[in-house]
Amino acid sequence: MLDSKRMAIILAAGKGKRMKSKLYKVLHPVCGKPMVGHVLDAVQQVHCERSVVVVGHGAEAVQAYLGDRAEYALQSEQLGTGHAIQQAESLLGTEKGTTIIICGDTPLVTPETLENIIANHESQGAAVTILTASMTDPTGYGRIIRGADGSVQKIVEQKEGTPEELAVQEINTGTYCFDNSKLFQALSQITNDNAQQEYYLTDCITILREQGEMVAAYETFDLAESIGVNDRLALSEAEGFMRARLAKKHMLNGVTIIDPSATYIGADVVIGSDTVLYPGTVLNGATVIGEDCIIGPNTEIENSTIGNGSTVRQSILSGAEVGAEGNIGPFAYLRPGTKLSDQVKVGDFVELKNVTVGQGSKIPHLSYVGDAVVGSGVNIGCGAITANYDGLNKAVTEIGNNVFIGSNSNLIAPVRIGDGAYVVAGSTITEDVEANDMAIARQRQENKSGYAEKIRAKAKAIHDKKE
């Protein structure tokens, strides 16, 4: 049971000019997820009952991505961090409890750290608690000046500090916990009487301190959590930290990653124990890998599910489901809508799309199967395809259980092949094949004795005439 109501305000209104991008800054992904998504996940994992995202530039795009996971306040003019928080007053101004204020471009802040700062804040009865970090070179950051009792006396900006103050290595990360009532009471008193003519959230800290309120600080020992992404260099740095963090988590959970520096794992990927990831593996989106799998090398899997004990090598899967003990690749392409039952083999240069394949079936090589239902125990030979598109419409091919489809067969949809049927190699099937029938749909072979010599003589005569 939480001691008090928890809320969050996520600042996501800045344009992010230094990103030099058409994509709104907080929507730039880190390990496959937009930065603001990481931040919202973190605050919701610490049980914030209300999460308000302050939007401005790119507001519609941010709202389209986050949807109804958050409430929104619009900062139509960017007049400073204090002004941004003021836009949330109509939503949160009368609430009692603790409010986290965090920037939408700080994707590396963890729920554990947020939980710790809240606990520190509430145990001390502070009006505000600042999340801090220590840096060897804190140049450019606001310094935290503490009193003898450990409370924060003030935050000194780079251009205003004395040599002694600027020697302090503890910096303000820009993440705070506030008593919500005291936050909005202080916000009502801030002004824009400064060089930038902006309303600063940090002025609230000065106001609360002058009112005799406790201003506390909680230091994170993971410097990466202090990273705010303002340009592509910082984005790359955040990506590197996040990749290392995710790889460590999976390895500690029993996953073998042969070369973490050459393996990419998205933020929402789930991987079972005793699975092995080889170099060049890229796992993204809502991908779930089971236990005892072998993935890679050079394999890309997105929004897909891989069952226990399956192997996927040098292949691409997008929106696909692979059952247990499957064997995929090398060089297979499983497109959206592909659903494979257990023990299915899909070999080299096979493309599947919107197809269901039953248990134990094999599509070993050089085939295309799309818009089809394939039963169990089926063997589809080399070069066989389902012709599912007539230029205007898609049609379905149905293949029953224990069917044999010979090499270089064309199944012209819509068509149904019954259980146990046999399609002879090289056939073009345009009509249904009943159960246990054998279908032959090719012209009977005819050999013309000595005719090859006549063809060569005719070709030579044409060549000589041109000379």
Cα distances from 206 to residues 186, 188, 444, in angstroms, run 9, 13, 94
Is 340 in a helix, a strand, or coil? strand
- Report the share of the chain in percent with pLDDT over 90: 87
Token pair of 194 as six digits: 């400064």
Task: Confirm or deny that 75 is annotated as ligand binding.
Answer: yes
pTM of the model: 0.90
Q: Are 320 and 302 in contact (CB under 8 A)?
A: no
Task: Confirm or deny that 157 is annotated as ligand binding.
Answer: yes
E-strand spans in 112-193?
A: 128-134, 143-146, 152-156, 170-179
Measure the CA dihedral 247/252/255/257, to 10°: 40
- The domain spans of the chain are 6-226, 241-439
**Quick one: residue 26, left, alpha or beta (phi over 0 = left, psi -120 to 50 = alpha)?**
alpha
Domain 6-226: CATH superfamily is Spore Coat Polysaccharide Biosynthesis Protein SpsA; Chain A (3.90.550.10)
pLDDT for 178 beyond 50 = yes
Active-site positions read 365
Task: Confirm or deny that 172 is annotated as ligand binding.
Answer: yes
The pLDDT tens digits for 353-363 are 999 999 999 99
Average pLDDT (451-466) is 90
Token pair of 126 as six digits: 């502070």
Task: Confirm or deny that 56 is annotated as ligand binding.
Answer: no
Work out the angle between the directed axes of helices 35-45 and 111-124 (0-180°, nearest 10).
50
Average pLDDT (450-457) is 91
Domain 241-439: CATH superfamily is Hexapeptide repeat proteins (2.160.10.10)
Beta bridge partners of 170: 134
Q: Are 82 and 215 in contact (CB under 8 A)?
A: no
Beta bridge partners of 373: 356, 398
The pLDDT tens digits for 69-105 are 999 999 999 899 999 999 999 999 999 999 999 999 9
Task: Confirm or deny that 94 is annotated as ligand binding.
Answer: no
Average pLDDT (454-467) is 88
Task: Confirm or deny that 25 is annotated as ligand binding.
Answer: yes
Task: Confirm or deny that 425 is annotated as ligand binding.
Answer: yes
Task: Confirm or deny that 389 is annotated as ligand binding.
Answer: yes
pLDDT for 1 beyond 70 = no
